[in-house]
Chains A and B, each alone.
Chain A
C-alpha cells in the first residue's frame, strides 16, 4: 500500500505532462495521449516502472505530430521538457523511497542534494528557452541548438567543483 501511494505521488508530474500534451496535440493524435496516460498509470506500480518509457514515447510522438503539422509554442515545449524531467526524477525518488526505511525528510533532502546541480542546469535550459521565445527573433533550430550548447557549457563551467585555495 505504501509503495502504491509513493507511486501515485510520483505519477503526478507524469499526469500533468499528459494533460499539457493533450491540450496542445491535434485530435487525430489523441491515441498517443492515451498510450502515454496508460504508461503513466502502469508506472504507478513498482514492478511496471518500465512503462514510464511508454509514457515518454507517447508524449513525444503526440508532440512531434503537433510540431510537424502546426509547430509547437516554445514555452509549451520548455514546460513539457521540464515536466518530463520532473516525472523521471520523481520516479527515481519513488524507487528509492520504496526500498529505504527511515525519515522522509532525510531521504528527500539527501536525494535532492545529489540531483540539485543537474536539475538546476535543466531548469536553466527551460528558462532560456522561454526567454528565447519572448525574444523578437523567430526561434530557429540553429538558435535553439546554439543556446542549449552555450547553456550547458556555462553550467559546467559555473558548477564545476572549485579547488581549495586556502592551503
Chain B
C-alpha cells in the first residue's frame, strides 16, 4: 500500500484565462469607447472570476494498493486507488500519461465535488526491471475550477521479472556438487540413469535385480544407476561497458539462464563484473530466483577506474568447478583477463557475446569499411584466443530469444558439458 500526499502548485486554469481575456478585453473596450454595453458584456465573465472561490492550502491524498510487489513481464495489475481531494473541490482526475516503456496504464479516476472516491487503474507491465508504478498524471481543480494543478503521482514500486524460461537442454559442468539434482553424475547411486550391471552382493535391494543378465549368467545381477546431482552455475554480467543496450541484453540473458537452471534444481549465483564487487552466492529454489533477479536488476553500468578482479570475490561466490556463464560485449580488455583467470581456476566458462551490432563509421570517413573489417578481424582473433584457452564464445544472434540462446549454448559446448533436463 502506498500513501502519497501531494501539495498542489495552483495556477490559473484555462477557464480562468479565457474568462479573464473576455472580461478584460470587453471592459477595456467599453471604457475606451465610453460604451456601457461592452462593460455589460464583460460583467458575466468578471462576476464569475470575482465570485469564484480560489483553491486553499492543503494536500491531496492518494492511496494506492497494488495486488503484488512482484510480477512478470506482460502481467496485468489492478491497482486500487483511493483519492482524498482535500482542497481540490473542483475535481481530481487521475489518468494515464503518454505510454511509457515500463507500464501501460488504462482507465481514469475522477473525484468531483470534494468527495473521496475509489477506483481501479489497470496497469500492464511492459518491460522487466524495478520500476515506479505509473506514474499517473494527476490534474486537480480548485473549488470553482479557476485553479488547476498538475503533477505526476507514483503509485509505488514493483519489481517486474522477465518471463519464465524453461530450457530442454542445459550445459552441465563436469563437476557436480554433492547435492541431489537432476543431472546424472559419474558415480553410481540411486538415480534413474542406467550405467551398467553388477553382481549381487549381500545387502543389495532385490528390487533392482536385472533379470536378463541373471538368466544369462545364472547368478543374480543388479542394475546400476548413476547418482543424480545438482550443478553449481554462476552467471556473470559485464557491467564495465554498455554499448547499444548490451547491459540490458546481458541482464535479460542472465535472468533467463538463472531461471532455467533453477527450474532444473541447480544452484545459481550471480557476479557483476564491474568496479564494484557485487555477488550473490549460489543457491537453489524459488526464493533464490527472486534474489537472482533482484541482483541482476541492481546491475548498473560501473564507470570506475577499478577493473573487475576475481581476487576480490569470496570463495562462496565462486565455488570450485562451477560453470560460469558470462554475458559480455567483450569490449573491455579487463574482462578478457577475468576469463583467463576463470579458466586458470578450472571453471568451465561460456561467454555469450551480447554485442549485436557493428560499429558505424561516420558517413564521410574514407576508410570506414576497412576499419569495420579490421574491427571484425580483431573480434575473431579475440574469440579464437578465448577458444584456445577453453572458453566457449556464443554470439547472441538477432533472432535469438533467451531460450534459443540457452539451447545454442548447450549445442556449442563440449559434449561432456551438455545434458538433458528430465
Contact = CB atoms under 8 A, between A and B. Distances in A.
B186 interface: no
A100 B37 contact: no
Interface residues of B, number: 48
- Chain A: interface secondary structure? helix
Interface string B180-222: 0000000000000000000000000000000000000000000
A143 B34 CA distance: 12
Given A96-B110, A114-B89, A124-B47, 17 more contacts: A64-B33, A68-B33, A84-B44, A85-B44, A91-B14, A99-B108, A102-B110, A107-B110, A111-B112, A114-B91, A115-B144, A121-B51, A122-B45, A125-B46, A128-B43, A141-B36, A144-B43
B37 A73 contact: yes
Nearest to B44: A122
Contact of A67 (B22, B37, B113, B141): B37
Contact of A78 (B14, B41, B89, B91): B41
B77 interface: no
Contacts of A64: 29, 33, 35, 38
**Which 10 pairs between the two chains have the least Cβ-Cβ distance?**
A110-B112, A122-B44, A144-B36, A77-B37, A121-B51, A72-B37, A125-B43, A118-B52, A118-B48, A100-B110
A21 to B, nearest CB: 10
B311 interface: no
A95 B46 CA distance: 22
Interface in A107-138: 107, 109-111, 113-115, 117-119, 121-126, 128-129, 132
A77 B144 contact: no
B41 A77 contact: yes
A148 B22 contact: no
Interface stretch (A4-12, A30-38, A150-158): A150-158
Interface residues of A, number: 64
Contacts of A78: 40-41, 43
Contacts of B110: 96, 100-102, 107, 110
Nearest to A129: B40
B90 interface: yes
Interface of B: 13-15, 18-19, 21-22, 25-26, 29-31, 33-53, 89-91, 93, 95, 107-108, 110, 112-113, 139, 141, 143-145
Contacts of A29: none
B51 A67 contact: no
Contacts of A80: 41
B86 to A, nearest CB: 15
7 contacts: A88-B18, A100-B108, A123-B44, A141-B34, A141-B39, A148-B39, A148-B47
A76 B248 CA distance: 67
B47 A155 contact: yes
Contacts of B90: 114
Nearest to B29: A64
A40 interface: no
A161 to B, nearest CB: 9
A81 B40 contact: yes
A152 B48 CA distance: 9
Contacts of A60: 22, 25-26, 29, 41
B38 A63 contact: yes
Contacts of B41: 60, 63, 77-78, 80-81, 84
B145 A156 contact: no
A121 B19 CA distance: 14
B114 to A, nearest CB: 9
Contact of A119 (B18, B38, B48, B112): B48
A139 B42 CA distance: 15
Contacts of B42: 81
B48 A121 contact: yes
Given A67-B38, A121-B48, A56 B43 contact: no
Given A92-B145, A114-B143, A121 B91 contact: no
B107 A77 contact: no
B44 A126 contact: yes
Contacts of A111: 91, 112, 145
A96 B91 contact: yes
A167 interface: no
Contacts of A115: 48, 52, 144-145
A20 to B, nearest CB: 11
A125 B49 CA distance: 13
B263 to A, nearest CB: 41
B36 A122 contact: no
Contacts of B91: 96, 110-111, 114
A4 B52 CA distance: 29
B37 to A, nearest CB: 4
Contacts of A84: 22, 41, 44-45
